[in-house]
Chain A
Amino acid sequence: MKSIVRPALTLLLLLTVITGVIYPLVATGLAQLVFPQQANGSLIERDGKPVGSVRIGQSFTDPKYFWGRPSVTSPQPDNGINSGGSNLGPSNPALTDAVKQRIAALRAADPGNTAPVPVDLVTASGSGLDPEISPAAAQYQIARVARVRGLSEAQVAALVARATKGRQLGVLGEPRVNVLQLNLALDASQTHGT
């Protein structure tokens, strides 16, 4: 038995040092050297100060901004330290009610727009931090944002196009629009004198 205890204890200790200390330190060193921007959270800076992350969604409810995916993190939406989805089952009446409320909120902010709402704009994301919406969800909101801001739809559509990414390598994932980048660009387009 003793001939097994010593190897078990020491090998556990040594492999812990190798995989639990040396490995993450080497990975951190390499990451900070080669990809510092990504490794530190892909922060967006304005005037040298971080104003958010490209990767992490923020909550928008003002009609002048594009709204992102609904987030059900608690206690506030898009809570960076409490990620997660609704976990509502497909047959749960609470899910249908939530979707109805979101449709009503979108329509209240944009009276007269009776088009069906793109599904990603009324269903909660898995992380509660989804930074992106589908191009369909962006198009749905262009007229509203343009009207509230007093911009032409073409101007807003151009900003949407700039914040849109296609499928990666042409195949992977889905086309998507980064909501925070788009809203920052909208604000910037109006403060810098249009």
Chain B
Amino acid sequence: MTTNDILQVGLYLVVLLLLVKPLGNYMALVFAEAPNRVTRFGGRIERVLYRLCGIRADEEMGWKRYALAMLLFNVLGVLVVYALQRVQQWLPLNPQHFGAVSPDSAMNTAISFVTNTNWQGYAGESTMSYLTQMTGLAVQNFLSAATGIAVLVAVVRGFSRRSAVGIGNFWVDLTRSTLYVLLPLSLLIAMLLVSQGVVQNFKPYVDVPVLQTSTYAQPVTDAAGNPVKDAAGNPETKPAQLTTQTLPMGPAASQVAIKMLGTNGGGFFNANSAHPYENPTPFSNFIEMLAIFLIPGALCVMFGRMVGDRRQGWAILATMLLIFIPLTIGLVAAEQAGNPALHGLAVDAHASALQAGGNMEGKETRFGIAASSLFAAITTAASCGAVNAMHDSLTPLGGLIPMWLIQLGEVIFGGVGSGLYGMLAFAVVGVFIAGLMVGRTPEYLGKKIEAHEMKMASLAVLLPCALVVIGTAVAVMLPAGVAGIANPGAHGFSEILYAVSSASNNNGSAFGGLSANTPFWNVLLGICMFLARFPLAIAMLAMAGSLAAKRHVPESAGTLPTHTPLFITLLASVVIVVGALTFLPALALGPIAEFLMSGH
């Protein structure tokens, strides 16, 4: 690692920690039960919305009603996004005249965006109309993030309330997340991104002449637009003159802002945040990276305030950093060390004042090694899934770390809301294990953890693990699954393992060589994304319902304090042990095998 690598990572962490406290305090006011200066300010707009929707804002929901409202709202969202893609050819704001998206791809994309995964089997700039992007995909970027925050707030109320029947009102939590948190921050970030060169317009694509004309092999298509193949089955090509370049346009900045802030990750363009119109400068990259961790970090602070003990929030945040920082350093070091396969060639991959060096395949010059590797760690620790470098081309160990960060259950910051409620499930498991050691009924935040809570927490911890392992097994056993592989050997297995891990933890990034826009992959990953999102959220709401009903247990000499370095270490160990025991065998067949064979 170079000095600058360390500086860039260090600066990021410092700025992040400076921002999460004020935002967390603000969010605690947004979701506070008593009216305050924040909720009074937006109260007028809220009341208009509630009246139009027939919502009684003071209605307290039990966990079942809360879960039902959440599920119904999201299923409706899936149907709308699906329908928009299927009829976009007849709707306005489609200057490139894109046709309807295929049914399996449209369903996959709809589930993908509603579940906050943003796995993308399609290429944005050649598939989706501006209308579909704005009113379908970007809307779900907001609403899936707002859903995550709402569920988290309800789970936190489970701990903070005493002998209560309700855990809040889903409509109010959803509306407040959107209006008070996501919208203003998105607008601010969108403007910062535009200032750096992210496009924001409704123009058709622009043709420009190229400075140097050249020839290239153009695929031949028949009258229906299908590729023509020669006798050997290879696509036929004809030489063509390259005289112009088509520049894509569109309302990108507004969508990219919420894509990062809501840990969604779905790119406006195919290359995602590697695209120069989506992430044009190192500063825009810094803003995008901050936006990913901003809300998941701030939610820890909010959590501490809502349960009446700020140390509890900082302890969770410290646990996340304890796992995140060493893995990030490992990732940067692996990429800076470069690709051993190129060592024998006449290539200069040493870091110097004039170049980043290292493994530059799939990376952008402006980001180099540090800003690309840090981004890769952040986007997979959080369930964002945006990429500014192609993860498929990372070195074996550099690719292992993002994959494992995903497999840890997306609780190291994780998704907006979902990351913290996932981590709280691990915390419940943690105090249970500690309780077993001393033979006491475990408590967390003044609530007794009993059989029902343990069942729900175990479900939340184990469900994504099961989906990854079973889904990968299914994919490697079926020809339709293996057909998608792009790279030979162990790396091909890594592509499948990464795809199923990504979908089953609602991340959305990929080892992009895998050809996943096929009916098999669209269906398999669609199922994984749906099951990872909603059953898990419902399990946590069920836990919240039973916790809220419990009485507060006063702290005693036998209570395990959950804000100490001891507990932080315990919690990090639980996350690591579950992740290592479950996935080391699979990782050994993929990135570890590739590493051992690559001549180290």
B480 interface residue (CB < 8 Å to A): no
Q: A88-B392, A90-B341 are in contact. Are A117 and B211 (CB under 8 A)?
A: no
The CA-CA distance from A51 to B389 in the complex, in Å, is 27
The B-contacting residues of A in range 1-40, CB under 8 angstroms, are: 3-12, 14-16, 18-21, 23-24, 26-28, 30-32, 34-35, 38-40
User: Which of A93, A123, A184 lies in contact with B361, CB distance below 8 A?
Assistant: A123
A15 pairs with B361, CB closer than 8 A: no
Distance between A111 CB and nearest chain B CB, rounded to angstroms: 14
A61 on interface, CB distance cutoff 8 Å: yes
Selecting from B158-166, B481-489, B577-585, the interface stretch reads B481-489
Among B16-24, B185-193, B438-446, B544-552, the one that faces the other chain is B185-193
Q: Which residues 220-254 of B sit at the A interface, judged by CB distance below 8 A? A: 237, 240, 242, 245-249, 251, 253-254
Q: By the criterion CB–CB under 8 Å, are B139 and A15 in contact?
A: yes
Kindly identify which residue among A79, A87, A173 contacts B512, using a CB–CB cutoff of 8 Å.
A87
Q: Does B367 contact A (CB under 8 A)?
A: yes
List residues 199-230 of chain B with CB under 8 A from any CB of chain A: 199-203, 205-206, 208-212, 214, 216-219
Among B212, B276, B360, B362, the residue within 8 A (CB) of A129 is B276
Q: Is the interface of B mostly helix, strand, loop or mixed?
A: mixed
- Segment with Cβ contacts to A, from B68-76, B416-424, B459-467, B518-526: B68-76
B174 at the interface (CB under 8 A from A): yes
Question: Is the Cβ of A15 less than 8 Å from the Cβ of B598?
Answer: no
Docked pose: A119 CA to B442 CA in angstroms = 55
Complex contact A91–B346 (CB within 8 A): no
Complex interface: chain B residues within 8 A of A83 (CB): 123, 125, 248, 269-271, 274-275
Contact between A42 and B274, CB atoms less than 8 A apart: no
When each residue 385-418 of chain B gets 1 if its CB lies under 8 Å from chain A and 0 otherwise, what string results? 0011110111110000000000000000000000
B489 touching A91, Cβ below 8 Å: yes
**Roughly how many angstroms separate A8 CA and B143 CA in the complex, as a whole number?**
12
Residues of chain B within 8 A (CB-CB) of A87 are 362, 390, 392-393, 486-487, 511-513
Contact residues in A for B190 (Cβ distance below 8 Å): 27, 31
Interface string of A126-152 (1 = CB under 8 A from B): 111111111111010000000000000
CA distance A167 to B5 in the complex (A): 12
Query: A99 an interface residue at 8 Å Cβ cutoff?
Result: yes
CB neighbors of B among A25-69 (8 A): 26-28, 30-32, 34-35, 38-43, 50-62, 65, 69
CB distance from A9 to the nearest CB of B (A): 7
**What residues on A are CB-neighbors of B135 within 8 Å?**
16, 20-21
* Chain A residues, Cβ within 8 Å of B430: none
Cβ of B8: which chain A residues have Cβ within 8 Å of it? 171-172
- In contact, B270 and A23 (Cβ under 8 angstroms): no
Contact A31 B274 (CB under 8 A): no
A30 to B, closest residue via Cβ: B191
**Is B592 among interface residues, defined by CB-CB distance under 8 A?**
no
A78 near B245: Cβ-Cβ < 8 Å: yes
Q: How large is the interface on A (under 10, 10 to 19, 20 to 34, 35 or more residues)?
A: 35 or more
A191 to B257, CA, bound (A): 43
User: What is the distance, in angstroms, from A43's C-beta to the closest C-beta of chain B?
Assistant: 7
- Most chain A CB within 10 A, of B52, B143, B346, B491, is at B346
Q: Distance in Å from the Cβ of A32 to the closest Cβ of chain B? A: 7
B338 near A31: Cβ-Cβ < 8 Å: no
Q: Does B293 contact A (CB under 8 A)?
A: no
CB of B347 within 8 A of CB of A40, answer: no
> Given the complex, which residues of B lie within 8 Å of A125, measured CB to CB?
274, 362-365
- What is the total number of residues of chain B having a CB less than 8 Å from a CB of chain A? 138
Q: CA separation between A78 and B245, bound complex, in Å? A: 8
- Residues of B contacting A168 with CB < 8 Å? 281-283
Q: Is the CB of A169 closer than 8 A to any CB of chain B? A: yes
Instruction: Compute how far the CA of A100 lies from the CA of B149 in the bound complex, rounded to whole angstroms.
Output: 50
A98 CB to closest chain B CB (Å) equals 9
Whether, in the assembled complex, B356 has its beta carbon less than 8 Å from a beta carbon of chain A, the answer is yes
Given contact pairs A126-B363, A172-B282, A24 touches B597 in the complex (Cβ within 8 A) = no
With A90-B361, A99-B345, A125-B363: A26-B354 Cβ-Cβ less than 8 Å: no
Give the distance in Å from the alpha carbon of A5 to the alpha carbon of B54 in the complex.
Answer: 10
Which residues of A sit under 8 angstroms from B372, Cβ to Cβ? 126
Q: When chains A and B are docked, how far (Å) is the Cα of A21 from the Cα of B209?
A: 34
Residues in A neighbouring B254, C-beta threshold 8 A: 23-24, 27-28
Q: Does B47 contact A (CB under 8 A)?
A: no
Chain A residues in 8 Å Cβ range of B68: 4
Residue B358 at the A interface, CB < 8 A?
yes
**Which residues of A lie under 8 Å from residue B276 when comparing CB positions?**
55-57, 127, 129-131
Chain A positions within 8 Å of B348 at CB level: 115-119, 136
The answer to the question of B280 belonging to the interface, with a C-beta cut-off of 8 Å to chain A, is yes
Inside 8 A of A127's CB, which chain B residues have their CB? 271, 274-276, 364
Among residues of A, the one whose C-beta sits closest to the C-beta of B187 is: A27
A85-B393 contact in complex given A20-B138, A39-B194, C-beta closer than 8 Å: yes
Contact A12 B80 (CB under 8 A): yes
Inter-chain CA distance A115–B171, complex, in Å, is: 65
Tell me whether A41 and B489 are in contact (CB under 8 A).
Answer: no
- Please name the residue on chain A nearest to B356 by beta carbon: A174
Residue B452 lies at the interface, judged by CB distance under 8 Å to chain A: no
The 5 closest A-B pairs by CB, nearest first: A173-B282, A126-B274, A87-B513, A174-B368, A89-B491
Given A91-B597, A126-B363, 10 more pairs with CB closer than 8 A: A15-B139, A15-B142, A40-B203, A53-B208, A88-B487, A95-B339, A95-B341, A96-B345, A103-B347, A117-B347
Q: List 25 A-B contacts (CB under 8 A).
A: A6-B53, A24-B255, A27-B254, A27-B257, A31-B201, A34-B194, A35-B191, A50-B206, A54-B197, A59-B214, A69-B365, A75-B216, A81-B205, A82-B125, A83-B248, A85-B390, A87-B511, A88-B513, A90-B361, A90-B394, A92-B487, A96-B345, A126-B271, A126-B274, A175-B354
